[in-house]
Amino acid sequence: MRRLIWLGVMCLLTVGSVGCGTEPPADLVGTDRSTPRMRQVAEAWKGSEAARVWRTGFYLLDDPERLPEDAFHNGADKLAYGNGNFRLRAGALPGAAARHGRIRWTNGDSLPATVMTARQAYDTLDRGDRGDGADPLTVTKAALGEMTVNTSRGPARVPAWLLTLDGYDTPVRLMAVASPKPPRAPVPSLSPQTVHGVQPLDEIREVSGDGRTLTVRASHGACDDGPAVDVLETGDSVVLAGGIRGAKDGPCTMQLLHASVTVHLDRPLGDRLILDAFTGKPVTMAA
């Protein structure tokens, strides 16, 4: 639930300058404005140690938390959750020690993993913020189960702690295994001073069943015609470059807006990496 805020800040700065009429970039789609950067990112990842590690390890491209299906009943509960304001009912957490589990992919691959205790999982949720005056959410029970998450190797089933909240029909799901720090990207990120029309992407919202269409969540400003996403396909990767359409001259409010963009691929995605031309890193998948 707490996603990559710094990307939004950088995008806000970039969109703000573009929207106020300082050298607005041309539309990215159908032009070569972003091609050199996309090629640089694709070549850097091709055959790299980072790509090898990425394809053989467990690296999360998802949120490790899942809200209850009926969340939230009111604004106070939403505020309490966002602030990490929780309390435990007596006996809610089992006292078992950490145990061994497995991460399992749909192709049959798996990796061993240490499953954190219920207390360790709960502590990632409860930040003890009691300063908002709202009543905390009460955890009444914890049970070990599973959840599906998007990873560097596709969807995987992982151990998860299911925490029941007082008044909610379905539990909060917390991933119960740690995801290691991703390998360092083999190409440096751009900065707001060097973007030349390329902006960071938010996340991949959906991959179609046939792997030929990506739905990308991208950012734009209040004084343009919306986001655009350019694509470069190689045998190893799909590199996406975010940008904007129709930047307008003149005064503009500093707003960061979001919209979904559909990207069509020439062939199915398969096991190719999806890379962000701005950051040089794999793109996060939506929960």
Tell me the per-residue pLDDT of 26-80, one tens digit each, with 9 for 90 and over. 333 334 568 899 999 999 999 999 999 999 999 998 889 999 999 999 999 999 9
Taking residues 233-243, report their average pLDDT: 92
Distance, in Å, from the CA atom of 83 to the CA atom of 63, rounded to the nearest integer, reads 17
**Closest of 4, 14, 8, 59 to residue 247, by C-alpha:** 14
Between 69 and 249, where is the model more confident? 69
The pLDDT confidence band at residue 156, using thresholds 50, 70 and 90, is very high
Selected residue with higher pLDDT from 250 and 168 = 168
What distance in Å separates the CA atoms of residue 216 and residue 203, rounded to the nearest whole number?
6
Q: pLDDT tier at 18 (50, 70, 90 boundaries)? A: very low
Give percent above pLDDT 90 in the chain.
Answer: 53
Tell me what pLDDT residue 69 has. Answer: 94
**Predicted pLDDT at 197:** 72
Question: Across the beta sheet with 213-220, what order do the strands follow?
Answer: 203-207, 213-220, 257-264
pLDDT at 248: 65
Answer whether 0.75 is exceeded by the pTM: no
pLDDT in tens, 118-139: 999 999 999 876 655 678 999 9
pLDDT tops 60 at residue 148? yes
Of 13-22, 197-206, 253-262, the one with minimum mean pLDDT is 13-22
Give me the amino acid identity at 157: R
Q: How many CB atoms lie within 10 A of CB 271?
A: 11
Phi, psi of 43 (to 5 degrees): -70, -35
- Asked whether 58 and 151 are in contact (CB, 8 A), the reply is yes
7 pLDDT higher than 50: no
Q: pLDDT-derived band of residue 222, with 50, 70 and 90 as boundaries?
A: low
Q: Name which residue leads in pLDDT, 257 or 148.
A: 148
Span 170-181, average pLDDT:
94
Ordered by where they begin, the domains of the chain are 5-57+184-276 (no CATH), 65-175 (2.40.128)
Please state which of the ranges 60-74, 163-177, 250-264 shows the lowest mean pLDDT. 250-264
